[in-house]
Amino acid sequence: MPAATAPSATIELTYREAVREAIRDALKRDPRVFLMGEDVGRYGGCYAVSKGLLAEFGPERIRDTPLSESGFTGAGIGAAIAGMRPIVEVMTVNFSLLALDQILNTAATVRHMSGNQFGVPLVIRMATGAGRQLAAQHSHSLEGWYAHIPGIKVLAPATLEDARGMLWTALEDPDPVLIFEHIMLYNMSGKLAADAGPVGIDKAAVRRAGRDISLITYGGSLWKTIEAASALAAENIDAEVIDLRSLRPLDDATIMASVTKTRRAVIVDEGWRSGSLAAEICTRIVEQAFFDLDAPIGRVCSEEVPIPYPRHLEEAALPQTPKIVAAAKAALGRA
């Protein structure tokens, strides 16, 4: 008989540290890689992700930039076209709107407009989401807007493995990849294989198998959704939890396989309901699996307001576990 394979050693770390290790590994592995953004160097990053990297790799590889998202994102695009592999960090998704022209009109279109002569192998990382009382200019979930744009990939790592492994795969992509890291995940801790490597960036994952209803979500809402599934299990409702992982492209096959099995679905999306990613997923389910449904599709989204500062109002504005449970029960006729 073949010898048993020894289990991989694991390490305890936070989501923040997993992202840092991904950046460190990329810098060691490829001399073309560098990190640039506001406060990524001396300050160690607004969310302490890049803490210590300046001392380790120096100012050529860890570059503090002026407060000009359009300027340094454009510089990253130019460096990528010239053969480098830049990682551009935008402090928060709200500030990324200042670079939207560079992302939409340049990075996403160069391959098309050059007749496939040039690509932009650029990775843009940014914090997204609410929950830390950072008020309306720092707390929104706009990744669904970017998922609307052809020519880019949009990722939302929710686990330590994805936080560690998605960057590796993204840096190997010949076109722009945007990675949205939810601010409420940075302190999440757990175990990760010490030799964890790249992961796929185009498939959803079934995080919890179930038979009664599909709960479809991503990013920071994944763990609330898993909590909701556990609460539903206590009432003999077996919920399946789908982590989208990639928002563009969406993995229709995994979504439809789940929905055709459970025949009911609720989509949890921290974006606003109107024009949301949740609306896109609803439409795809209706287009591809309408006759498999036994109930209307439910949605749990943020309230249609700028995210408030007071904690009780911020919590009320966001998808929360009780809202997910209530939506699932409604879909099952058990409200």
* CA distances, 274 to each of 129, 144, 251, 277, 295 (Å): 17, 11, 22, 9, 21
Burial of 149 (0-12, 13-18, 19+ CB in 10 A): middle
What is the token pair recorded at 41? 């160097």
138 carries an active-site annotation: yes
Element (H, E) at 165: helix 160-171
d(CA 202, CA 86): 21
The values of phi and psi at residue 306, to 5°, are: -55, 140
Q: d(Cα 202, Cα 2) in Å, to the nearest integer?
A: 34
69 is catalytic: yes
Distance CA 76, CA 84 (A): 9
DSSP-derived letter for residue 269 is: E
- Choosing from 17, 21, 69, 89, the catalytic residue is 69
Examine residue 249 and say whether the peptide bond preceding it is cis (omega within 30 degrees of 0): yes
Q: What is the four-CA torsion angle of 211, 207, 259, 257, rounded to 10 degrees? A: -110
Q: How far apart are CA 161 and CA 184, in angstroms?
A: 16
For 1, the token pair is 């008989």
Catalytic one of 89, 138, 140, 240: 138
| Strand order from edge to edge, sheet including 123-128 | 62-64, 33-37, 85-90, 123-128, 177-182, 153-155, 246-248
Catalytic residues: 69, 138
